[in-house]
């Protein structure tokens, strides 16, 4: 483990939030759907696939598929082996599914989405928020997309700047070092050296530290 193999991402914050919400949703008849953008999968993560994925998660929690969705499917399956829906079709389906319970939608690393897709997705999310007052959205991303997020979601969004917590970084590094597969070459001096050289390298960022092999799993 050295500096050259360390990469920075923010996925952990999102996954903490998603788990927190899931735990509460199970007890309180609420729904949670999440989506993790990933640079490596950016082509497959089109706006329709992304919204379809959220819808799919929300439908899984229901006792029956709502008529709006069922009828749409029955129509589309007659042509070209099940023609897909367009973005406006998805947007129209959400209110019926979101109206019955409080729903949390979490979107991680929106900056890793293709820019053209990002604007389409934000626009769709804005419309969904407008038509579904029971819905809360949690979005993470690097600061360069803040303008686009605030433009598309307007007064419905509040932005929170995330700075690194040194405690988090230290906790994370210690835990990772304890998992070293060659503990016989590790001693406390080497551990401190590693910690210090990493901490010196960390710029002001909202991230925790993850190694590349965990990133691309």
Least Å distance between CB 184 and another protein? 23
Check binding of 1 to another protein (CB under 8 A).
no
Candidate segments 54-62, 113-121, 181-189, 191-199, binder of another protein by CB under 8 A? 54-62
Check binding of 94 to another protein (CB under 8 A).
no
Matching residue, tokens 């686009």: 148
* Binding to another protein, residues 188-207 (CB under 8 A): 202-207
* Binding to another protein, residues 170-189 (CB under 8 A): 171-172, 175-176
Least Å distance between CB 182 and another protein? 20
* Degrees to nearest 5, angle at CA 164 with 187 and 4: 50
Cβ proximity to another protein: between 4 and 185 the closer is 4
Cβ proximity to another protein: between 4 and 184 the closer is 4
| CA proximity to 114, closest of 13, 206, 38 | 38
Candidate segments 31-39, 113-121, 180-188, 192-200, binder of another protein by CB under 8 A? 31-39
DSSP one-letter string for 196-213: HHHHHH--S-S-EEE-HH
3-state secondary structure of 76: helix
* Binding to another protein, residues 114-153 (CB under 8 A): 125, 129, 132-143, 145-146, 149-150, 153
| CA proximity to 42, closest of 149, 103, 117 | 117
DSSP one-letter string for 90-107: HHHHHHHHHSSS-EEEEE
Candidate segments 8-16, 113-121, 184-192, binder of another protein by CB under 8 A? 8-16
How would you classify the pairing of strands 7-9 and 208-210?
A: antiparallel
Check binding of 92 to another protein (CB under 8 A).
no
Cβ proximity to another protein: between 154 and 183 the closer is 154
For 88, phi then psi, to 5°, come to -60, -30
Cβ proximity to another protein: between 115 and 184 the closer is 115
Cα-based distances in Å from 73 to 22, 86, 96, 122: 29, 13, 15, 25
* Binding to another protein, residues 63-82 (CB under 8 A): 63-70, 73, 76-77, 82
The number of residues that bind another protein (CB under 8 A) is: 102
Bridge partners, 209 (sequence order)? 8
Least Å distance between CB 152 and another protein? 10
């Amino acid at each position: 483990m050295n500096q050259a193999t360390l990469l920075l991402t923010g996925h952990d914050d999102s996954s903490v939030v998603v788990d927190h919400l899931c735990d509460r949703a199970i007890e309180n008849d609420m729904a949670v759907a999440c989506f993790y953008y990933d640079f490596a999968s950016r082509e497959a993560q089109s706006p329709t696939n992304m919204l379809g994925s959220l819808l799919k998660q929300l439908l899984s929690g229901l006792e029956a598929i709502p008529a709006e969705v069922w009828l749409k499917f029955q129509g589309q399956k007659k042509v070209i082996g099940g023609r897909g829906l367009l973005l406006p079709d998805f947007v129209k389906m959400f209110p019926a599914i979101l109206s019955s319970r409080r729903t949390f939608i979490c979107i991680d690393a929106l900056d890793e989405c293709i820019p053209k897709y990002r604007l389409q997705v934000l626009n769709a999310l804005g419309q969904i928020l407008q038509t579904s007052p029971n819905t809360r959205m949690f979005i993470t991303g690097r600061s360069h997309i803040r303008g686009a997020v605030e433009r598309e979601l307007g007064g419905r969004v509040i932005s929170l700047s995330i700075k690194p917590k040194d405690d988090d970084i230290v906790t994370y590094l210690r835990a990772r070092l304890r998992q070293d597969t060659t503990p016989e070459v590790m001693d406390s001096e080497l551990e401190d050296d590693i910690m210090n050289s990493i901490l010196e390298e960390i710029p002001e960022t909202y991230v925790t530290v993850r190694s590349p092999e965990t990133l691309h799993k």
